[in-house]
Structure 1
């Protein structure tokens, strides 16, 4: 137990610059959740007859991303992407200022107009998608690549 306490004391004494000086990531105390490792993605639009996004996303594994889903309430619409959501770590979902920290996610649904923000860390490289369930059109789907 004393060795553990000594290790913590040494790490605290070293300060936040120790990782940078020793060839670490330089992310700071928050690690991959540091502001220097965060990118905002273009929003996804949930609206009857409107494309979800202008283009697909290419993400880098280990990077923190945030995006908004904007539903206009024109129709009850969902967005599914179970393979994608299992390839990322979802940090939080924010709806009307309420933060949700899920263990996992399969889909989201908008019954009325609103905005939802999702923050996540890309983990598993591969090709994924999110789409409106039951749709077959390419504009009702967003392709996502994690490198």
Structure 2
């Protein structure tokens, strides 16, 4: 009887989390759940994004961030980084699986890729530290 109740609970829980998308065995990390965001180019005085990012909680996203070497430049967004689960940061083929991020910085030209799952709905931003211009930030909405 206990096994039947446990099985019924597991089936009910699975149905409750079922979505129109079949995520497969990897769940949130499966390929069908991945969305590539537009590349972010870090260049002194240039805008960071053409449009705000509209993300969906539970979706897996990847973004490439490239610095052109025009200056030491970074991105800060503590609230945003606390609203996501960072799967990995890839720099020159090296995969880093951090517990969390606070900010990133490029001293020279280069590219990094960040893979993450959006978790906490809200409004956030990534901003070049010390900047005040609206074009020096990326507005992010997690729904």
Instruction: Give TM class, smaller chain.
Output: 0.7 to 0.9
Secondary structure in 2 aligned to 1:136?
Answer: coil
Pairing partner for 2:142 from 123, 129, 146? 146
Pairing partner for 1:24 from 18, 33, 49? 18
How far has the Cα of 1:53 moved from its partner? 1.0
1:127 and 2:123 are equivalent in the alignment: yes
Q: TM-score, normalised by structure 1?
A: 0.84
Secondary structure in 2 aligned to 1:134?
Answer: coil
2-structure distance, mates of 1:140, 1:125: 23
Secondary structure in 1 aligned to 2:81?
Answer: helix
2-structure distance, mates of 1:101, 1:23: 27
Q: TM-score, normalised by structure 2?
A: 0.86
Deviations 1:85-113 (A, max 9, x none): 00000000000000000001000000000
2-structure distance, mates of 1:23, 1:49: 45
- Structure 1 unaligned spans of 5+: 8-18
2-structure distance, mates of 1:136, 1:49: 11
Secondary structure in 2 aligned to 1:108?
Answer: strand
Q: Compute the RMSD of aligned alpha carbons.
A: 1.9
How far has the Cα of 1:24 moved from its partner? 3.1
Matched residue count: 131
How far has the Cα of 1:45 moved from its partner? 1.1
- Shifted more, 26-35 versus 126-135: the winner is 26-35
- Residue 96 (structure 1) aligns with: 92
